[in-house]
């Protein structure tokens, strides 16, 4: 095995959808990374999350658990 790329922005458990890797930081910011090279495609500040929070997918949305509820983010 060889390391392909690494990002320091996000620390949460990553999930893969299409050609994008999604992950959270501790403040609740959702990052979308290019799966090929790790470049940030976009990011969105949400509410604070637990260190165990993991996004999930369904019907064209990303669902993110936060300390105050669940946020649904449309995938464009």
Strands, E assignment, 1-76: 15-17, 20-24, 29-34, 40-45, 56-58, 61-66, 69-74
Tens of pLDDT, residue by residue over 18-34, are 999 999 998 889 999 99
pLDDT at site 31: 95
Q: Could you tell me the end-to-end alpha-carbon distance of the chain, in angstroms, rounded to an integer?
A: 33
Give the domains, in start order, of the chain with CATH numbers: 15-74 (2.40.10.480)
Residue 64 CB neighbour total at 10 angstroms? 23
Tens of pLDDT, residue by residue over 27-56, are 889 999 999 999 999 999 998 888 889 999
Is the per-residue pLDDT at 76 higher than 90? no
């Amino acid at each position: 095995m060889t390391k392909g790329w690494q990002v320091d922005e996000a620390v949460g458990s990553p999930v893969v959808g299409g050609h994008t890797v999604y992950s959270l930081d501790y403040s609740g910011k959702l990052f979308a990374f290019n799966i090929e090279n790790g470049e940030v495609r976009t990011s969105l500040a949400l509410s604070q999350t637990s260190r165990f929070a993991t996004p999930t997918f369904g019907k064209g949305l990303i669902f993110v658990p936060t300390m105050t509820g669940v946020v649904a983010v449309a995938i464009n």
